Structure 1
Amino acid sequence: MELRHLRYFVTVAEELHFTRAAERLHIGQPPLSQQIQALEEEIGVRLLERSKRWVRLTPAGKSFLDDARKILALSEQAGQTARRMDKGEIGELRIGFTPSTPFTEIFPTVINLFRKQFPQVTLSLREMPTMRQLEAVAERQLDLGFIRPTEMEIAKNIALTVLSVDPLLLVMPAGHRLSKLKSIPFRELAEESFIMYPHRAGTGLSRQVEHLCREAGFEPKIVQEAQEASTIIGLVAAGFGVSILPESYKNIQLSGVSYRPMAGAASKTTLMLAHLADDDNPLKTAFLQMAGGAKGKNLVRLPDTPL
């Protein structure tokens, strides 16, 4: 049984006239009669009663008409769904993000823009560290990941689209001796106590800060580690030490904390979108375009050592 047989039958049932039905279908009347007969033979039931003057539905034909219409409607819906999926108008997009990402300007902007333009697309947002995001993208558990530089090696099939280059900030207690400066050279931190992410947190920031401190001639004295930036900032407010975080965290306005940019061209971190280079998911492509990184452009490889 083919869908065209169902369309032929429904048209004849609506017209109750083979000639008019054939005209609607743009086929000849004899071939139409033959197709209806073939349909009846296939299912083993007479669907139409015929005479030279009239055509009537049998009881079986009336029942079959209801189901035929449902099947044709589902077929049309399936086709529309497939076409909309191919155009990226419906479906699901799975996006990972680091804890600092929601504080950036680009993240809420592109999320809101995408939701408005594709209201029937489900955005599944998952907070996770950079390393876990890269693993999830490689395993096709995520379509996109907002990540920061990391010390781990990036799989060759993962492309990175640069979104922004953000300054690093010194987070210090209010009234700290360095709060009078507009920007902070790393050498000024030689005697400070640091509160940092643990290396196991999966971010490259701790390694980057250690590297920049060594370039300034000292080894950072890490007195406390914390998994969450909000905890780090709270410990700074409590006087445990200072920390260095991406600029986006200055949006956390906690009493007793001051923020100042770090001096030096290398005192920056990058926000990127990680995605599989060979994945042509139209939803992913649309998101990349909105985020300012059209597919196939601005793709970079992350250096082995975070800058």
Structure 2
Amino acid sequence: MYLEHITTFLNLAETLNFSKTAINMHQSQSSISQSILSIEKELNLQLFIRDRKRVILTPTGKDLYYSLKPWLNDYHQAIQHAQNIDILNQINLTIGYSGTPYEYAVIPMIVKLFRQQNPNIKVILENYAHSVLIDHLKNGNCNLIFTMPDIIKNVEGLTYYNLTNGQYCLIVPHDSNKELKSPIPINSLTNQSIIFLDHRWCPPTQNKLQQEILHHNNHLNISYVNNISTCHTMVKAGTGLGVWANFVQDPHDKDLNCLKLKTDIIPKYGVAVLDQGTNKAANSFVKWLTNNGLPLITKNYL
């Protein structure tokens, strides 16, 4: 007897109405009748007495019902238990990132390589500003964020894992500013058009560098933007020069050059998780990242 036949028999034994059972089983009434006839023929038993007014279970039908009902309940419980085990094995890992050109280029590669070695972990990505990512991490909406230590310096309850020490650079279009040569003193940018990140959005170390550039240069044409994507687009459009860390730059971008700036300010980049309550998937990802390192960070300065 098929499972569907058993379910149909038990339902009809409870409703004693072919029409109601047809509705419950999402089948036609004739299909229900054929299923019951098929069961009775297979078992060589009469399970129901039918006439034009009613349906009655035979004593044999009652006995079979009371035997099969707990079995079907056990079957569904067993399936549910197996599904719960599968859910536990298929651990979700939500990763937050702020959307730098580097992250857009490299995170898909990182996730793909990680999942090849950890196929039981389901990875979900979310892209928000740093302040939102920190809130999501603390509230449990994500398990891990890519960040910089100065961004989370005053945030309690987080553990930071450093993945790389970088270098702040002046970002210039490939076809302009040929006179600029790396490394560039920060006091040699007078009369340049530069695009800065708003202090409410940019990392504290970058804001400190921007203030030093302002202090040491006269007649700067400064534009302020509130996210790195806009800054990146404006630099590519030739509206000004950019300032960001080498680990922010898209390693595949041939339109922009990274020129090392002479500064003692060293930016760092890594991941942060909660001090307590971090799930196994996040711990596995951190361990995998620290062992394998970050790929394709721009290190060739012109």
Normalising by structure 1, we get a TM-score of: 0.63
Residues 130 and 150, structure 1, Cα contact 8 Å, conserved in 2: no
SS at match of 1:172: strand
Report the counterpart of residue 243 of structure 1 in structure 2: 242
SS at match of 1:201: coil
Equivalent residues in 2 for 1:97-246 (5 A)?
97-100=97-100, 101-103=102-104, 105=106, 107-150=107-150, 153-173=153-173, 174-179=175-180, 181-204=181-204, 206-213=206-213, 217-218=216-217, 221=220, 223-246=222-245
Please point out which of 36, 51, 75 is paired with 1:69. Answer: 75
Deviation at 1:243, TM superposition (A): 1.6
Residues 163 and 290, structure 2, Cα contact 8 Å, conserved in 1: yes
Distance across 2 between alignment mates of 1:201 and 1:61: 67
Q: What is the RMSD computed on CA atoms of the aligned residues?
A: 3.2
Report the counterpart of residue 53 of structure 1 in structure 2: none
Cα distance per residue 1:138-171 (max 9 Å; x no partner): 2222211101344565322111111112222211
Does 1:60 find its partner at 2:66?
yes
- Over 6 Å off, 4+ runs: none
Residues 90 and 118, structure 1, Cα contact 8 Å, conserved in 2: no
Residues 137 and 276, structure 1, Cα contact 8 Å, conserved in 2: yes
Distance across 1 between alignment mates of 2:109 and 2:238: 35
Task: Quickly say closer, same or farther: Cα 1:103–1:76, change in 2 above 3 A.
Answer: closer
Deviation at 1:73, TM superposition (A): 3.9
Equivalent residues in 2 for 1:282-293 (5 A)?
282-292=280-290
Task: Quickly say closer, same or farther: Cα 1:113–1:205, change in 2 above 3 A.
Answer: same
Amino acid of the residue matched to residue 283 of structure 1? A
Distance across 2 between alignment mates of 1:149 and 1:219: 31
Task: Quickly say closer, same or farther: Cα 1:251–1:230, change in 2 above 3 A.
Answer: farther
Distance across 2 between alignment mates of 1:91 and 1:236: 40
Amino acid of the residue matched to residue 175 of structure 1? S
Distance across 2 between alignment mates of 1:60 and 1:116: 49
Cα distance per residue 1:214-265 (max 9 Å; x no partner): 6x7347945212234343234334443222122241536364x433122344
Amino acid of the residue matched to residue 277 of structure 2? D
How many residues are treated as equivalent by the alignment?
A: 228
Residues 162 and 271, structure 2, Cα contact 8 Å, conserved in 1: yes
Distance across 2 between alignment mates of 1:98 and 1:211: 23
Report the counterpart of residue 259 of structure 1 in structure 2: 258
Moved more, 230-239 or 129-138: 230-239
Task: Quickly say closer, same or farther: Cα 1:121–1:152, change in 2 above 3 A.
Answer: closer
Distance across 2 between alignment mates of 1:275 and 1:152: 11
Task: Quickly say closer, same or farther: Cα 1:210–1:73, change in 2 above 3 A.
Answer: closer
SS at match of 1:200: coil
Deviation at 1:103, TM superposition (A): 4.9
SS at match of 1:141: coil
Residues 194 and 222, structure 1, Cα contact 8 Å, conserved in 2: yes
Amino acid of the residue matched to residue 118 of structure 1? N
Report the counterpart of residue 271 of structure 2 in structure 1: 273
Gap regions ≥5 residues in structure 1: 1-48, 50-56, 295-307
Cα distance per residue 1:42-80 (max 9 Å; x no partner): xxxxxxx9xxxxxxx7442133323323323433543x3
Amino acid of the residue matched to residue 128 of structure 1? Y
Task: Quickly say closer, same or farther: Cα 1:135–1:202, change in 2 above 3 A.
Answer: farther
Amino acid of the residue matched to residue 136 of structure 1? H
Cα distance per residue 1:162-189 (max 9 Å; x no partner): 111222221124331543x232121212
Amino acid of the residue matched to residue 262 of structure 1? L
Task: Quickly say closer, same or farther: Cα 1:175–1:62, change in 2 above 3 A.
Answer: closer
